[in-house]
A and B are shown apart, each in its own frame.
Chain A
Amino acid sequence: MIEVTDLTKRYAGRTAVAGISFAVNRGEIVGLLGPNGAGKSTTMRILSTFLPATSGTVRVAGYDVFHDSVEVRRRIGFMPENNPLYLEMRVREYLKFRARLKGLGWARSRQRVDTVMEQCGLTDVRRRIIGQLSKGYRQRVGLADALVHDPELIILDEPTIGLDPNQIRSVRQLIKSLAGNHTVLISTHILPEAEMMCSRMLIMFEGKILAADTPENLQHQMAGNSQVIAEIAAPMAELHRVWQEVPEIEQFDISAAEGEFFRCALTPRDGYDLRPQIFALAREHGWTLRELTRSRHSLEDIYVQVTRRNEEEKENG
């Protein structure tokens, strides 16, 4: 569905995207992850034909975004960053206007507008002025706009930014429900969000793609040295002794928690999952165990790790 080859975008004196290549297959939900300024929005703007590339080729549904830009635009639904809308229009009026712009006939646009309003939960506010809606509703109007002409490819630039948890959940569910019939490319800087929605993630940093894999594989790669946190009520000295005796624990750190509990941060050797063993030890010694978690990697850890790996490769090569 999307084929990007050696895409580079330079603004005056600054390289926003530095020679990236990737492909997205039909029906996939792909997340573009990265911190602010990584080049996600620029990439999406080029994909949606809004900006030209400095070099490289981008093909969407087999059409070149530069030479066949109208054909590409017919096939995509794009929600830009910050979801700009005509605030003075009413919801239904706006969606009908957008449907007509996207080339839908009168009857078809009416029918599609009703469908997407239903799908995005906008039926109750269809007569309201967009400028008076809450941010969550506006976001849904933006989504409904991206969906209104039933495009093959949907590009959403940070669709859940600034929403409250309930709204985020409903937007996520909506996006997940699009899988299969549509190809979706979403950008986000929230890792759990991408994990929940996407079948594949592309991690961008400083204009380059550093990693591209399924969320599970990425998490697995990272799990190598993910810490286990255990809160246990036991004498400190005993904890010390036991942790030292376990060969799979590479490093540990014990700090006092409230009451008689101690918080132990345990780093395993080589991706070993310590949790079952800790439970077994607690039972064996008669400790009270009140918390046992494996700390998940945040996106930041992944950047740090991936960029470090990149630098090492540079030094070695």
Chain B
Amino acid sequence: MSIFLTLARRELAALFLSVTGYIIIAAVTLLIGLGFVVFLTNLGSDPTLVPVTEMFYSSYFFWLILLVAGPVITMRLFALEKSSGTYENLMTTPVSDVAVVAAKFAAALVFYLIMWLPLLACLGVVSRFTQQPGALDPGAIGGTYLGIFLVGALFLSLGCFASAISRTQMGAAMIAFVLGVALFSLGFLASALPATAQWQSNFLSYFGVFGQMRDFARGVVDTRSVIFYVSLTLFFLFLTLRAVESRRWK
């Protein structure tokens, strides 16, 4: 456990000791802010009953952040160590492969959550100036953050896997991005299928990341989607672990 914490702390520190971490946070803050400027303009002319969080999730900004931030945060995890050679240093200490994968993933997840904090400030601004407590209830915010956490964990686990199978950061980012976009698009396939393809569209609707996130943003937590995200995340972490272990089979 203490080795896990030591490793995770270093991974997190590495993000903040380099410029990368700050650039990611700055870019995300900018995108969140832009998103809110767009709603507030829309809201001013066009009042609506939809919660602010739901409006935000359905914007391009939200998905842009989600699809791009995952690969950018995770690309360095394994690929950078491999290309700089420190991977050899790390893997010849008596740490288990599980601890390495878990620590790297945990650090990425913590960074990812820190990155989303500016959203709270934006929501605060909205509730302060609309003077509408109903526009922003704790349930919706909690649901939104749970959604952000679960969807993010899945995309970060994709990124971990991509980084573990790549030798360069660039390659890792590209693989992670392609995997993320593929997963994201899979959900839209369900509605494109003909009505006769009943079970196929049922199956595909489980991958409807977009639709599930809408429920979260409304404050509706469906255990099916929670289990879906958690199990898919664990699946990709398992693949990552296998990729790390594969060094010993070659």
Contacts and interface: CB of A to CB of B under 8 A. Distances in A.
B111 to A, nearest CB: 15
Interface centre among B13, B91, B93, B96 (most CB of A within 10 A): B93
Interface in B81-132: 84-86, 88-96
Interface centre among A48, A50, A66 (most CB of B within 10 A): A50
B158 to A, nearest CB: 25
A73 B3 CA distance: 15
Contact of A84 (B2, B18, B84): B84
A102 interface: yes
A84 B92 contact: no
A80 B90 CA distance: 11
Contacts of B3: 100-101, 103
A88 B95 CA distance: 22
Interface string B52-72: 000000000000000000000
B6 interface: yes
B17 to A, nearest CB: 4
Nearest to A78: B92
A82 interface: yes
A190 interface: no
Interface stretch (B32-40, B148-156, B176-184, B242-250): B242-250
Nearest to B17: A88
Interface string A86-98: 1011000000011
B167 interface: no
Contact of A76 (B2, B6, B7, B92): B92
Contacts of A50: 88, 91-92, 247
Given A85-B86, A86-B86, A103-B3, A98 B93 contact: yes
Nearest to B14: A88
B91 A97 contact: no
A45 interface: yes
Interface in A69-84: 70-71, 73-74, 76, 78, 80-82, 84
B86 A70 contact: no
**How many of chain B's residues touch chain A, expressed as a range?**
20 to 34
B10 A70 contact: no
A217 to B, nearest CB: 33
A51 interface: yes
Interface of B is mostly: helix
A98 to B, nearest CB: 7
A152 interface: no
Contacts of A100: 2-3, 6
Interface string B217-250: 0000000000000000000000000000001111
Nearest to B5: A100
A90 to B, nearest CB: 10
A288 to B, nearest CB: 56
A76 to B, nearest CB: 7
B94 A82 contact: no
A84 B94 CA distance: 18
Given A86-B14, A101-B3, A52 B250 contact: yes
B94 A89 contact: no
A102 B89 CA distance: 11
A231 interface: no
B6 A80 contact: no
A28 interface: no
A49 interface: yes
Contact of A70 (B7, B84, B96, B250): B96
A49 B92 contact: yes
A51 B91 CA distance: 10
Contact of B6 (A70, A74, A78, A97): A97
B85 A103 contact: no
Contacts of A52: 247-250
Contact of A48 (B6, B92, B95, B249): B92
Interface string B1-42: 011001100100110011000000000000000000000000
A145 interface: yes
A49 B94 CA distance: 10
Nearest to A66: B248
B245 to A, nearest CB: 11
14 contacts: A45-B88, A49-B91, A52-B248, A73-B92, A74-B94, A78-B88, A80-B88, A80-B89, A84-B84, A84-B85, A88-B18, A98-B89, A100-B3, A102-B94
Given A74-B94, A89-B10, 15 more contacts: A45-B88, A48-B88, A52-B247, A52-B250, A66-B248, A71-B94, A76-B92, A80-B89, A84-B84, A84-B88, A84-B89, A86-B10, A101-B6, A102-B93, A103-B3
- Nearest 6 pairs of A and B residues by beta carbon: A84-B85, A73-B94, A88-B17, A80-B88, A84-B86, A100-B6
Interface of B: 2-3, 6-7, 10, 13-14, 17-18, 84-86, 88-96, 247-250
